[in-house]
Structure 1
Amino acid sequence: MGLFSFPFLSFCLFHLKCHAASLICYWKSTALFVMERLKHLVPDELKQAIAGSTCETLSVTCAGLLEFLLPLPEFQQVISELTDLEIALCRKNESRALDLKLQGNECFSKGNFTQAISFYSQALRYAPLHTESKDLNLVATLYVNRASSMHKSGLLEECLRDCNRAITVKPNYAKAWYRRGKVNESLQKHKDAIYDLEVALNTETTTSGKKSINQGLEILRMRVDSASMVEPSEYDVEVKDAVARDVSTLCVEAPTKGRGMASPNDIQPATLIHAEDPLAAIVTKPCRGTHCHFCFNGVPADSVFCPSCIIPIYCSENCLAQSTGDISYSNSAYSLARCNLSQDVLNHVADVISENGIRCKGVPEHKHECGGAHWTAVLPTDVVLAGRIVAKEMEGKRLSGVNYNLIDSLDLLHHYELVPPNERLELHIYAIVLCYCMNSYYKSDFQSTEVNISQLVLLLCLIKINSMAIVHVSSTDSLDKILSPSINVKTSCIEQVRVGQAIYSTGSLFNHSCQPNINSYFLSRTLFVRTTELVPSWTPLELSYGPQVGEMDIVERQRLLKEQYMFICECSGCSGLNFSDLVINSFSCQNSRCHGVVLENITLKILEDNSVQALVGASLVSNLLLPASGSDKSIEEVAHKLFQKSKIGSCIHPGCCLNCNAYLDLDSVNANLSEATLNMTRLADSLDRALDCLAKIKSMRHQHSKTVAQAEDSIAEIFVNNGNLEHAIKHCKMSIQILEKLYHPNHIAIGHELIKLASLQLSVCHAASASDTIKRVETIFSLYYGAHAAKLFPYVNMLRQQTLDYQTSCNLRISA
């Protein structure tokens, strides 16, 4: 039996046609199913050859695997299932669109407009663009139906955009012009409203419809004549923040890290040093239904869809055009010029229709994936991103006529020799599958040869090391809850969402540090890099790849960096003894008069080079160089024994205090700690018991451990839910004080926590305290985001304004 049996396909087809959301589980399971089945078929001898392959022998192993897989019916069926447009699971489906339209109509008739919008959006996802039935274009009808639902829901701007889309698809659609006119009337754009209703009147074919439109038009004209018609102005405020002109960054060779970025000039804090759009980018699978597949911003109610398949979703015509190419609509042959319309109205019609006529500025990144074939939905994100890079390079080759090596042209490292041997077979198989998927679009221009396949293997390695996660900052609570003192405020209101993955040609050259001196962030898909401290000339400009001092201990940082990026970090944060590394996951000493730390499962011993080597089990993790002189007093306080070289071998053991050498029973403490931590998560409605759990945690964990900080934050949220905001503020401050010890007072993590504190302070009308807290937030955010902070965190300005309003009202009451 083949990889996909007929009953399996029938089951999938049945469920896939029910709703787009049902695709997600299928996509994830099928990717694993494809890989594991193909891996199982490969003989052991070939597996061993691939596991031992090098860059020099890669083409040989790729050729051998391709020669083995090509005759297999299972492999041929996999490729057919992924690329054959005749059985494509992600094609448009008119009958499905009509069913969803009827469900939307039913919700609309019952007044459930939110649900109606959802059904109409799903119908638009499935609706073929070129479909005419009884002189009604399905896509145009769905846009108008969704516009009507949004009009009823008060989403006027979104409604207006949908009317424009319907008109662009079918310019003589009277209902679209009428709805647009009513929306412009609501927006007090009276001139546009009159023009819209005039077009609707002249394109309406029924007598009753003409009568209704004419009555509305006459009433609007009378209203305009009786009042001065002043159209509201529209302002598009753009936050400008240019890369500093007097700062240049250069690619240099670092002794221990290879290529990196540095500047020949001193760079002041908060200086924007780099901005870059990606070479290629792709939305993450969890965000496929909620974020635009081009700009990665959240999609509005009036989202738009790919005209040829049901996979992507976009926030606007502009993003649709950049991703798929030119927007092409099947306009009606009906000529509006035949109608009795003035030249002004005809110009107005032309402007409305041309609003959506946006052209792609670069290589359409989704075009080669389109048509309904679902390989982009099934294969892992890294593999699909590799396909987009290939597509861009193919287009460059077509325009220039130059045939060049893909990996050399990217000029980024791949480190194939560091890939674990057991992972190389998977890379080979994915490369072969991707090669055939790309061949289904490019045909003879991209043949499935061992050279192309080996290039794809290296490209997948390159993406693993060099790709960056596009992270957007969002609030987990609605803005009114953050700002309104009358509503309980959640203590966690900021989160970072990984919405995309991208390759940045220059951005990838910035090296990692667990104590970075630059910060990277994203507006839409554009990468921005800004200094967070004074950086002397030729000092390496380094950002965090994820792990940071204060966020996790050195053992965890080293493990993650080795697994993801295949290097052992030797940054300043990993080559010295950090206070946070000692206390972040430590236990407290059983001696109540001692502030020392007790470490778990870690053996420390002094080496001849005056360094401390941390061992977890039997594997080397890192070298922690002891301060030569002037050691940190906080480190000495919690780890006094580290500075007594004569006793280090006999006194430093798991469970022993690093300050006084008192012993702690780790098994017993761990059991009690797990119980207390688990109970705290279950006791949101029992404040007294939750406080008991907090006391137990604080008696076992070191006072500056991250566990205590998280427990204090949880207690603050419990107090919020119980309406006791004063106590919530107290525990929120305690949590922040611990984090300030683990990070530093101006770290961005502290800024996010201060947002919680400021919102709580405003909720209890502590305007002066809130004002001081907000000043700290603004200082930190300006350091990390510069002028972009206002765009990324608009609620900070709103918190500031609410504080000023409250202070003003207090002053007025005092003066009265």
Structure 2
Amino acid sequence: MLIYREEKRRALNSYLGHVYDWKSTALFVMERLKLLVPDELKQAIAGSTCETLSVTCAALLEFLRPLPEFKEVISELTDLEIALCRKNESRALDLKLQGNECFSKGDFKQAISFYSQALRYAPLNIECKGLNLVATLYINRASSMHKLGLLEECFRDCNRAIAIKPNYAKAWYRRGKVNESLQKYKDAICDLEVGLSTETTTSSKKSINQDLEILRMRVPSASMVKPSDDGVEVKDAVASDVSILCVASPTKGRGMASPSDIQPATLIHTEDPLAAIVSKPCRGTHCHFCFNRVPIDSVFCPSCVIPIYCSENCLVQSTGEISCSNSSYSLSRCNLSQDVFNHVADVISDNGIRCKGVPEHKHECGGAHWTAVLPTDVVLAGRIVAKEMEKKRLSGVSSNLIDSLDLLHHYELVPPNERLELHIYAIVLCYCMDSYYKLDFQSTEVNVTQSVLLLCLIKINSMAIVHISSTDSQDSILSPSINVKTSCVEQVRVGQAIYSTGSLFNHSCKPNVNSYFLSRTLFVRTTELVPSWTPLELSYGPQVGGMDIVERQRLLKEQYMFKCECSGCSSLNFSDLVINSFSCQNSRCNGVVLENITLKILEDNSVQALVGASLVSILLLPASGSDKSIEEVAHKLFQKFKIGSCINPGCCLNCNAKLDLDSVNANLSEATLNMTRLADSLDRALDCLAKIKSMRHQHSKTVAQAEDSIAEIFAKNGDLEHAIEHCKMSIQILEKLYHPNHIAIGHELIKLASLQLSICHVASASDTIKRVEAIFSLYYGAHAAKLFPYVNTLRQQILDYLTSCRISP
């Protein structure tokens, strides 16, 4: 066997606990198949082109198909008789018992965790002691959440249990108690009346009757329904007077542009994905359809144990099924009034949830675990194939998959040593898809060839779905006179998707549009005035100010297979020189010293950057005097040198003084390491900062990070004045690397505003927040309030403070 069955089951259980090493298993499968391929065929595949791809795919398919080892691999991944991701009644019952033990001990949080895991494994139509197991688990989890005051979550679980078993008295009773807590007394009475009519034990009937009498006494003097305090959904529509078109350019091929000028902060495009998949590190924490964080009352696929969803709506969109299937609405009407009977009908209805399109998970379901093992790109390719198969079923017309997507694949740019892996994954994917579609999708050379190109297309065109996560924490050092929270904003890569139009936006290291995501929907917004027919370009990750040109070029070449020739890479930037540079040891010189980079002087006032023997890029120097900041740190570049002469690593670009890079690097590493260990020793941390600043250039990113670390140390020690001082120093450096209105500056200003407000520097905090709001509005428009709720919290804190002091804002 590829992996022994019990070992694989343990691996799966570990995966469901979010520690499954999927990558090593996928690599194990890949390496085993690679070893079987003869050298002659490997060489043919390494040298294949788009024209010969069908030949190499056919040859590899013909070689692998009869091999017992290959059949074993496919069987392990797809055979539903031995599937490891099927529902498991005994596992669900074991977890239910563990949840019951935690509940009896008062450990309700842990009980919820066990009940949720039991729901993951529980088959939908299994009876346990005369009750549906899934319905029982929902009510057990609801009871635990009720104990913790999680009323909305408890309410939803009660509805799920009722949808499965409408005559479940305990579910109606628990729902009634939740409605009572929510001050929805009329609904609570109806719920308890249903619970009373369906209850079979005398003692429970007596208890429900007592609760009903108390509630009926309350109704005349109490509000029937508690007013909702839900906020109004933020609306932000694409500008009606702006059109964007796909156009061609000589250097970048297809891209997006507009025939009219576009103002800053204009929303120019929104789009839902053609296909999307949650990233593997987020499989246990984020919804597998909308990619938002799952609540504590998450729901699971009815047919397998892999996906997790935040709601029934997302589950239906992903699987085409609902988790709570009411098969028999059999409540007797004899004990219920018409009003109460209508109330029951409303509760058990499915609220009109319908699948809007092709279910993304349906073809992966049934228990087969190939989606848990294979790389994300491969699984995403399967979802695209599934959508094309559905189109074919509805229209009856078969089309070329790659042509129908109308996106580039660039197979010819794939490194030769990676082509065999693409071939094998394509064949494995075809067999996995064939296990679901049977004769409709067979593992033929045509489908394998299309799958190879599809995997290349995904590598080039897919977009990472990034969500902004704000971690708010109460800091004990803050002034007791005002309640302020500090916030850490981070970007989390929660998914990967293909957007038909979004993929056509080209990259620039100096982008003029910003892309962001709400749930799985892509939004594109301009961040500056864009003249008509100017390319609309976003960043694929690397940006001027965030990375130097060497790192940007390397990353884009490896990930997207192109050499960047954007405006940020075609002319010399100040940040490219200083971001990772050392300072000249001559105290009278402000020059930069580059490490591992040789600058070679070329014709036409240009310079070539080389790392070792590898050419990285050609930087076109600005005309002398056009950028004073560059001349101040690299005056030597503007002198007339002999063509072909070089400036070697370790030489100052102003005075040509030599720097001992080995010695400086050793001292720098020691100082940086020590700073991270000295949170409780300000004096020693400041010594480390001084050493770092004496070695790195004053505008390098290392100095900015060191200043930020010192600010954090001061804040933790209660010295907020000095924390603010060093926070400002860090921001000033970042403003030189990026620009003052860059989104990276906005994130740092949030931190500064929190510090200012915590020691009642209200006027300064108000100015900082205004600047934050201006930056965030530029990048996110009206969505900024939803993406960064902490900014509104800070603004409200300022207003509250001014009100308490009776000061006009």
- Place the TM-score, normalised by the shorter chain, in its bin: over 0.9
- Residue by residue over 1:543-579, the C-alpha shift from the partner in whole angstroms, topping out at 9 and shown as x without a partner, is 0000000000000000000000000000000000100
The residue that corresponds to 1:55 in the other structure is 50
- Residue by residue over 1:304-333, the C-alpha shift from the partner in whole angstroms, topping out at 9 and shown as x without a partner, is 000001100000000000000031644364
How many matched pairs? 809
Tell me the distance in 2 between the aligned counterparts of 1:293 and 1:607: 52
Is 1:729–2:724 an aligned residue pair?
yes
User: Aligned AA for 2:364?
Assistant: E
From 729, 735, 739, give the equivalent of 1:740. Answer: 735
The residue that corresponds to 2:614 in the other structure is 619
Deviation at 1:235, TM superposition (A): 4.0
From 4, 26, 31, give the equivalent of 1:31. Answer: 26
Relative to structure 1, the CA distance from residue 487 to residue 298 in structure 2 (aligned partners, 3 Å threshold; closer, same or farther) is farther
Is 1:637–2:659 an aligned residue pair?
no
User: Aligned AA for 2:344?
Assistant: V
Deviation at 1:609, TM superposition (A): 2.5
- Residue by residue over 1:446-485, the C-alpha shift from the partner in whole angstroms, topping out at 9 and shown as x without a partner, is 0000000000000000000000000000023347889986
Q: Secondary structure at the match of 1:679?
A: helix
The residue that corresponds to 1:594 in the other structure is 589
Deviation at 1:761, TM superposition (A): 1.1
- Residue by residue over 1:711-740, the C-alpha shift from the partner in whole angstroms, topping out at 9 and shown as x without a partner, is 111111111221222111111111100000
Is 1:537–2:536 an aligned residue pair?
no
Deviation at 1:200, TM superposition (A): 0.6
Moved more, 703-712 or 332-341: 332-341
Tell me the distance in 2 between the aligned counterparts of 1:505 and 1:347: 45
From 791, 795, 799, give the equivalent of 1:800. Answer: 795
Equivalent positions of 1:494-533 (< 5 A) are 494-533=489-528
Equivalent positions of 1:257-268 (< 5 A) are 257-268=252-263
Would the aligned equivalents of 2:602 and 2:643 in 1 still touch at CA under 8 Å?
A: no
User: Aligned AA for 1:13?
Assistant: R
Is 1:453–2:453 an aligned residue pair?
no
Aligned-residue RMSD, C-alpha: 1.9
- Residue by residue over 1:476-502, the C-alpha shift from the partner in whole angstroms, topping out at 9 and shown as x without a partner, is 334788998679989770100000000
Tell me the distance in 2 between the aligned counterparts of 1:272 and 1:295: 21
Equivalent positions of 1:19-418 (< 5 A) are 21-22=16-17, 24-227=19-222, 229=224, 231-233=226-228, 235=230, 237-327=232-322, 329-331=324-326, 333=328, 335-355=330-350, 358-418=353-413
Tell me the distance in 2 between the aligned counterparts of 1:187 and 1:175: 18
User: Aligned AA for 2:2?
Assistant: L
Q: Secondary structure at the match of 1:520?
A: strand
Tell me the distance in 1 between the aligned counterparts of 2:704 and 2:500: 39
From 3, 9, 13, give the equivalent of 2:9. Answer: 13
User: TM-score by structure 1 length?
Assistant: 0.97
- Residue by residue over 1:193-246, the C-alpha shift from the partner in whole angstroms, topping out at 9 and shown as x without a partner, is 111111111111111111100100110110112445454246451110000010
- Residue by residue over 1:47-79, the C-alpha shift from the partner in whole angstroms, topping out at 9 and shown as x without a partner, is 000000011111100010011111111100000
Relative to structure 1, the CA distance from residue 457 to residue 482 in structure 2 (aligned partners, 3 Å threshold; closer, same or farther) is farther
Is 1:787–2:782 an aligned residue pair?
yes
The residue that corresponds to 1:695 in the other structure is 690
User: Aligned AA for 2:560?
Assistant: Y
- Residue by residue over 1:61-99, the C-alpha shift from the partner in whole angstroms, topping out at 9 and shown as x without a partner, is 001001111111110000000000111111111111111
Q: Secondary structure at the match of 1:615?
A: strand
Tell me the distance in 2 between the aligned counterparts of 1:312 and 1:441: 18
Is 1:713–2:708 an aligned residue pair?
yes
Tell me the distance in 2 between the aligned counterparts of 1:139 and 1:520: 41
Tell me the distance in 1 between the aligned counterparts of 2:643 and 2:583: 20
Would the aligned equivalents of 1:642 and 1:648 in 2 still touch at CA under 8 Å?
A: no
Relative to structure 1, the CA distance from residue 689 to residue 262 in structure 2 (aligned partners, 3 Å threshold; closer, same or farther) is same
Deviation at 1:629, TM superposition (A): 5.1
Tell me the distance in 2 between the aligned counterparts of 1:486 and 1:471: 37
Would the aligned equivalents of 1:143 and 1:162 in 2 still touch at CA under 8 Å?
A: yes
User: Aligned AA for 1:104?
Assistant: G
Relative to structure 1, the CA distance from residue 588 to residue 23 in structure 2 (aligned partners, 3 Å threshold; closer, same or farther) is closer
Would the aligned equivalents of 1:249 and 1:263 in 2 still touch at CA under 8 Å?
A: yes
Relative to structure 1, the CA distance from residue 227 to residue 428 in structure 2 (aligned partners, 3 Å threshold; closer, same or farther) is closer
Would the aligned equivalents of 2:54 and 2:445 in 1 still touch at CA under 8 Å?
A: yes
Moved more, 673-682 or 571-580: 673-682
Deviation at 1:628, TM superposition (A): 2.8
Tell me the distance in 2 between the aligned counterparts of 1:371 and 1:263: 47
Would the aligned equivalents of 1:190 and 1:231 in 2 still touch at CA under 8 Å?
A: no
Tell me the distance in 2 between the aligned counterparts of 1:364 and 1:711: 49
Deviation at 1:10, TM superposition (A): 2.6
User: Aligned AA for 2:611?
Assistant: V
Q: Secondary structure at the match of 1:493?
A: strand
Is 1:606–2:601 an aligned residue pair?
yes
Tell me the distance in 2 between the aligned counterparts of 1:102 and 1:514: 56
Percent pairwise identity: 88
Deviation at 1:346, TM superposition (A): 1.3
Would the aligned equivalents of 2:473 and 2:487 in 1 still touch at CA under 8 Å?
A: no
Tell me the distance in 1 between the aligned counterparts of 2:313 and 2:747: 33
Equivalent positions of 1:751-790 (< 5 A) are 751-790=746-785
Moved more, 644-653 or 399-408: 644-653
Would the aligned equivalents of 1:172 and 1:332 in 2 still touch at CA under 8 Å?
A: no
Tell me the distance in 2 between the aligned counterparts of 1:592 and 1:489: 43
Tell me the distance in 2 between the aligned counterparts of 1:22 and 1:153: 23
Deviation at 1:701, TM superposition (A): 0.1
Would the aligned equivalents of 1:15 and 1:22 in 2 still touch at CA under 8 Å?
A: no
The residue that corresponds to 2:2 in the other structure is 3
Equivalent positions of 1:413-424 (< 5 A) are 413-424=408-419
Would the aligned equivalents of 1:586 and 1:701 in 2 still touch at CA under 8 Å?
A: yes
From 424, 431, 437, give the equivalent of 1:436. Answer: 431
